[in-house]
Structure 1
C-alpha cells in the first residue's frame, strides 16, 4: 500500500550556502473508485483511509446514506499492476442487496484532481443532489456555537495535523462538537478528499447524519465542500480562507452556516448566522 510520505533529494540554498539533503514530501497517487465493478471516478489522493474516502465520496454523490446500505469495499487485485500485483490504487464498492445502483454513464464519470472534486461534471445541476437530511433552517435550531469557540478551531486543527508538520503539503478537515471538542481529523493532498474521509468514517461507524457537528477545513470553502457538508447533515462549515460565490449561494439555499476567513478572532459569516451566538448589537451594513 502507498505511503503517506516519501523522501526525495533536494538542493537547499540558505543565505547563499548550498547543501544537499533528503526532504519529506506528501505522497500523491491516483485512486480509482468503482461501484459494483464499474468505473465511477478517479481521484488524486494521499494513500490511507481509502475505503473511507470511497464511502464519503458516495455519500456526497447521494448514493449512500447509512452503513446498512454498504455491503463492502475491497481493493481490486491486479487491476493496474504488472504481473497481477495489487497496486492498492483501485477500490470497488459493493452496495447491500436491494440498494439501487445509479446509472453510471460517461456524463457521470468524474476525474477529480487533488484540488477540485467536481472537474468534469456536465453541469451544476448534476451536483445539486437531494440531501437525505435537510438542515434545520429555523432560528430556534438547537445547534448553536459561540464565535469564540469557532476562533479556537484553526489552531486546534493545525495542532492535530501530524503529517503537515513533516511535509507542509497537506490539507486537513476536522470534525468538532459545538463546544470545540475534536472528534476526528483527516489529512490529504486534496481538501475534498480529506472531507470525504471524515464523512466516510462517520458512515462506516453509523454516525450519519452529523447534525450536531462543525466541519473545519484548511484552505478555501468551495461549492463541493458545501455540498459534502450538506449531504452529511453537517450544519456548520468553517474555513480559514475565502468561500466562492457558488458556495455561498448553496449554503443559503440549503440553510448551512458558512464561515470564512476564520483567523484569530476575525471571521466572515456568509450564511446561517442564526446558529451563531451573536451580540444583539451586531450591525448589518
Structure 2
C-alpha cells in the first residue's frame, strides 16, 4: 500500500496518456501505421475505511483530489479536516502486494458523514455520466452546506467570455490527445486561475478541482467561477452548488434539469460561452454587461437611417 497523505497525495500517479498504433486514412488514401497519443481511461474504486463506496472511470492522476471532490458533492464532507488521509492499495487479484493505483481507501475525520448501509452510492459510473445509477432526482438533490444564493459576486461579461480560451490554453493533455474534458476555478475578483484539472469524465475534472480546493482549505468557494469545457449537466451544477461556487460557465448547452437546479439554488449559469457571446440561463444579476466597441446590427441600422 502507498500512503498518499501530505503534499504528494494530490500529485499525478499513473499514466495520463498512452501511445497506440493507428492507420490514418484521408481522401481515400492510407498511410503507414504510426503511433497516436490517447488519453488513459481506467477504473478507480473509492473505499471508505476499507468498505467499497463507488467506482468511476477516470484518467489517472490527482486521484485523492477526485475522491475528495466526489465526497464533497455527495455531502459527506465539507472541510479539509473531515478528510483525514487516503491510501492507494492493491486491487482485486493483486494479493495486496501489487499496487495498481486503481483502488483508493479514504479515512474520514471528525464531522464527516459516514456512509451507511442504506447509502445508494455503491454504483458504477462511466466517463460520460457522474450520477448513473441514482434511484431518483430526489436522491441526487443533496442539500449544500454553503449559501450560494447569498454570494454577492459580480463580474463583467467580457471577462467570462475570455475564460474558455484561458481554459484551452492550460489543457496540456488535451493538446496531445484531443480526448479530455477540463474544469478550472477562477477568482472572480482578481481573475486569477486557481486550478485546472483534466479528465476523460467532465464530472471527474470538476471533482478534482473541488477536491484541490478542499485539500487546500479553500472551501467554500465563494466568489469563484467554474469554467468547464463541455456542456452543463445537472451533475455539474450540483457539484458547483455543493462546493459553494456561485457561477458556472460552460462552452456548450445546459440541460433543462441543470437550469432548474441553478434557478432554485441561486447559482448563475451561463452556456454557449464562445467568442463574445453567451446565454445566461439563471441568475443573470451577477453579470455586468459592458458596452462593446463592436457596433451591433441595431446600431448599424440606426446609422443608415440617420443618413
TM-score (norm. length: structure 1): 0.93
1:24-103 equivalence runs, <5 A: 24-81=37-94, 84-97=97-110, 99-103=112-116
Aligned to 2:24: 12
**Alpha-carbon distance between aligned partners in 2 of 1:22 and 1:225, rounded to the nearest angstrom:** 34
Question: What's the CA shift string for 1:26-75, capped at 9, x where partnerless?
Answer: 00000001112111110000000000000000000000100111111111
Partners of 1:78 and 1:84 within 8 A in 2:
no
Name which one, 1 or 2, has greater alpha-carbon Rg.
Answer: 2
Partners of 2:158 and 2:290 within 8 A in 1:
no
Aligned to 1:130: 143
Partners of 2:91 and 2:103 within 8 A in 1:
no
**Alpha-carbon distance between aligned partners in 2 of 1:148 and 1:225, rounded to the nearest angstrom:** 23
Distance 1:105 1:154, change over 3 A: same
**Alpha-carbon distance between aligned partners in 2 of 1:120 and 1:82, rounded to the nearest angstrom:** 30
Aligned to 1:152: 162
Partners of 1:35 and 1:94 within 8 A in 2:
yes
Distance 1:154 1:122, change over 3 A: same
1:235-246 equivalence runs, <5 A: 235-246=246-257
Distance 1:7 1:279, change over 3 A: closer
Partners of 2:90 and 2:102 within 8 A in 1:
no
Aligned to 1:283: none
User: Residue 162 of structure 1: which of 172, 177, 180 is its match?
Assistant: 172
Number of equivalent positions: 277
Distance 1:100 1:59, change over 3 A: closer
Structure 1 gaps, min length 5: 281-285
Question: What's the CA shift string for 1:160-215, capped at 9, x where partnerless?
Answer: 00000000000000111224321110000000000000000100010001101100
Aligned to 1:200: 211
Aligned to 1:256: 267
Distance 1:203 1:104, change over 3 A: farther
Partners of 1:40 and 1:104 within 8 A in 2:
no
TM-score (norm. length: structure 2): 0.86
RMSD of aligned C-alpha atoms? 1.7
User: Residue 226 of structure 1: which of 215, 229, 237 is its match?
Assistant: 237
Structure 2 gaps, min length 5: 1-12, 292-307
Partners of 2:86 and 2:105 within 8 A in 1:
yes
Distance 1:80 1:118, change over 3 A: farther
Partners of 2:156 and 2:290 within 8 A in 1:
no
Partners of 2:89 and 2:96 within 8 A in 1:
no
SS in structure 1 of the partner of residue 23 of structure 2: strand
